[in-house]
Amino acid sequence: MAPERRRRLLATAAREFAVEGYRQASLNRIIRLCGLSKSSFYYYVRSKEELFELVVDQLSAQLADELSETGPDDFRDDFWATAERLLRRLLAVAEREPLLTDLGRMFSLPGAPAGPESAVGRATAAAESWLDRVLAAGRAAGTVRADLPPGLQRHVTFAVLRALDEWTLRHQDLSDRRGTEPLLRAQLDLLHRLLAP
């Protein structure tokens, strides 16, 4: 499939899944909006599940690439300033690339493939591994509390980050800077209270 046509398929499918949910998403509507024939579409993907997996894999890779300039070791020097820069970068990416916001919504859809071997499961495991290394850098620098077992600390932190993400995607207009700035400050304060020594 030509790159532009592939990008349109990914964006259309991400929007369909994010708005309609996994169960109600219509492959026929996606095919029509993309201007594809059914035979072309089904040559490329065979099912709704395969399309969902493809979208999550491709967009997760794109998001990771967008955020790759900040690695776990960058948190050693100034943990909280780096955390703020990363959150601001994430907001800027979401504003510029709405399909990545759709990706965020796809991670919590009822009925969607979400087991350990699914695209959502793999992306979640990669994010948890990255967070483990970020928290380890913070503990080593003395900017993150060290009185909890690392696995528990990561589990709790990831749960809080996921809750903040889900709430923000459901309730916040990410293009409204006046609304997102106070929320960003409050979220950073919440994380600081959770993690600071």
* Residue 78 forms part of a structural domain: yes
- pLDDT > 70: what percent of the chain? 96
The per-residue pLDDT for 175 is 58
For residues 20 and 52, the answer to whether their CB atoms sit within 8 Å is no
Alpha helices, H only, the chain: 3-20, 27-34, 38-44, 48-66, 79-96, 98-106, 119-141, 150-171, 177-195
126 and 67 Cβ atoms separated by less than 8 Å: no
Q: What pLDDT is stored for residue 169 in this prediction?
A: 83
CB distance 52 to 114 below 8 Å: no
Region 46-75: mean pLDDT is 94
- At residue 143 the predicted structure's pLDDT band, cuts being 50, 70 and 90, is very high
C-alpha to C-alpha distances, 143 to 132, 138, 150, 196, nearest whole angstrom = 15, 5, 14, 6
- The secondary element (H helix, E strand) that includes residue 78 is none
Question: Of 39-48, 67-76, 165-174, which range is least confident?
Answer: 165-174
- 64, part of any domain: yes
Per-residue pLDDT at 97: 86
Residue 115 CB-half CA count within 13 A: 2
Which pLDDT does position 127 carry in this prediction?
95
Tell whether the model's pLDDT for residue 123 goes beyond 90: yes
- Whether residue 143 is contained in a domain is answered as yes
Q: To 5 degrees, how large is the angle CA 88–CA 13–CA 56?
A: 55
126: which 2 tokens? 């990669």
Asked whether residue 154 is assigned to any structural domain, the reply reads yes
The string of DSSP letters for 110-129 reads TTS--STTSHHHHHHHHHHH
Residue pair 136/48 in contact by the 8 Å Cβ criterion: no
pLDDT surpassing 80 at residue 164: yes
The residue segments making up the domain with residue 177 are: 49-195
* 98 located within any domain: yes
When the pLDDT of each residue in the chain is averaged and rounded to a whole number, the result is 92
Spatial neighbors of 24 by CB under 8 A, at least 6 apart, are: none
Flag whether 172 is in a domain: yes
For residue range 82-116, list pLDDT tens digits in order: 999 999 999 888 888 888 889 999 998 999 998 99
Considering its fold, how many domains does the chain have in total? 1
**7 assigned to some structural domain:** no
Residue 39 is encoded by which pair of tokens? 């035979």
Does residue 72 sit within a domain?
yes
What pLDDT score does 177 carry?
Answer: 64
Domain at 128, CATH number: 1.10.357
**Residues 6 or more apart in contact with residue 142 via CB below 8 angstroms:** 197
Q: How many CA atoms lie within 13 A of 145 on its CB side?
A: 15
Out of 69-73, 134-138, 140-144, 172-176, which region has the weakest mean confidence (pLDDT)? 172-176
